[in-house]
Amino acid sequence: MIDLRSDTVTKPTQAMRKVMVDAEVGDDVWGDDPSVNRLEAYAAEITGMEAGLFVPSGTQSNLVGILSHCQRGEEYIVGQQAHTYKYEGGGAAVLGSIQPQPVELEPDGTMPLGKIRAVIKPDDFHYAISKLLCLENTIGGKVLPMEYISAATSLASDHKLGNHLDGARLFNAVVRLGCKATDITRFFDSVSICLSKGLGAPVGSVLCGPADFIKTGRRWRKMLGGGMRQAGIIAAAGLYALENNIDRLAEDHDNAALLGKALAEIDELDVSLQTMHTNMVFFKPRDGRVEELTDHLASREILIEPGSEIRLVTHMQVSADDVLATAEAIKAFYQQS
Ligand SMILES: *Cc1c(COP(=O)(O)O)cnc(C)c1O
């Protein structure tokens, strides 16, 4: 089976399962789990933040982050296509009475500075209080330019807004740029990282930020039902992922590049090559026969997620041979029909 639907489908390797079996554990709600404490400290260290908070998912990590930055009646500025706006069930609005202010993104994933400036509200009781800017990096597999991050976050700071990074795939950006995580995170007050995407842990995210912010976040995490007990079993997998699986993301990027190049040779496909930076390849079948293509590939044990634009994601359980086999299977689809 070649599963290209997402890098969330990665399964823990034997080496990772071994550290899970051997993990020292305690009751994390009491602060007693050494494996969780180690993971939180390590995540904070590599992101250059004071403290970390281990949570079950990226959605909860971003939600705790927004709830800790904003009060009821305040708002966060966020990309219209960003995860923290579009794909988190409206959590900040539902659970925090915090208004999202979405802004249409450019094709490169940036929110134009002029548009950010235009939606930051003046102090007037007609408006919600603008409080936070949320960026996402990588976004749709794309790496935000460093100058852009610098400009957007200083614009926010100049208006006394906080800066939060949804860094679910931060390390894909780090590997692509050949930089340190802190080269990116230094522009932000808080960052959320996912352990369960390309890094290959079965579950978990870490929210990192200033110590008092994380103290507030710990209260929200408990309220949201994210206080876990002997969570060291899964935290150990997360720590293993951070210590061992970051550099290898380069292989996923290479495989995605190989896949993109092979697909670009198929006339029936319109492949977005310019914005292919990391482990994702986007394309549209020119004839629009998405369902048929999906079924054809499924019959060959290749899984893709159908959509108006199809996203293929490489990860640690997809090899170079797998991506070439996928390109061949797509080619065969157009030859037979
Ligand atoms: C996956 C993802 C999340 C949420 O993570 P879950 O663990 O699935 O809740 C948040 N932001 C981005 C950019 C993601 O890709």
Q: For the chain, which domains are there?
A: 10-244 (3.40.640.10), 248-336 (3.90.1150.10)
pLDDT above 90 (res 321): yes
pLDDT above 90 (res 165): yes
pLDDT > 90: what percent of the chain? 99
Q: Which of 10, 81, 83, 169 to mutate to test the pocket of ligand 1 (most atoms within 8 A of CB)?
A: 83
Model confidence over 191-210: pLDDT tens digits? 999 999 999 999 999 999 99
Q: How far is 113 from 152, CA to CA, in rounded Å?
A: 6
Task: Round the average pLDDT of the chain to a whole number and report it.
Answer: 97
The pLDDT confidence band at residue 266, using thresholds 50, 70 and 90, is very high
The predicted structure's pLDDT at residue 240: 98
* Largest Cα–Cα separation, the chain: 64
Residue 266 CA to ligand 1 centre (angstroms): 31
pLDDT above 90 (res 94): yes
Whether 57 is in the pocket of ligand 1, judged by its Cβ within 6 Å, is yes
The predicted structure's pLDDT at residue 275: 84
- As a whole number, mean pLDDT of residues 76-88 equals 98
Torsion of Cα atoms, 150 then 77 then 121 then 119, to 10°: 80
The predicted structure's pLDDT at residue 229: 98
The pLDDT confidence band at residue 274, using thresholds 50, 70 and 90, is confident
Q: How far is 68 from 242, CA to CA, in rounded Å?
A: 25
Minimal-distance CA residue to ligand 1 atom 4: 58
Q: Which of 6, 84, 193, 197 to mutate to test the pocket of ligand 1 (most atoms within 8 A of CB)?
A: 197
pTM of the predicted model as reported, rounded to 2 decimal places:
0.97
Whether 59 is in the pocket of ligand 1, judged by its Cβ within 6 Å, is yes
- As a whole number, mean pLDDT of residues 211-228 equals 98
**Tokens 């700071």 sit on residue:** 157
Residue 192 CA to ligand 1 centre (angstroms): 9
pLDDT above 90 (res 337): no
- As a whole number, mean pLDDT of residues 146-152 equals 98
One-letter identity of residue 77: I
The predicted structure's pLDDT at residue 263: 98
Phi, then psi, of 244 in degrees rounded to 5: -120, -20
Residue 68: name the closest of 169, 182, 164 by CA.
Answer: 164
Minimal-distance CA residue to ligand 1 atom 8: 58
The pLDDT confidence band at residue 336, using thresholds 50, 70 and 90, is confident
The predicted structure's pLDDT at residue 42: 98
Minimal-distance CA residue to ligand 1 atom 6: 58
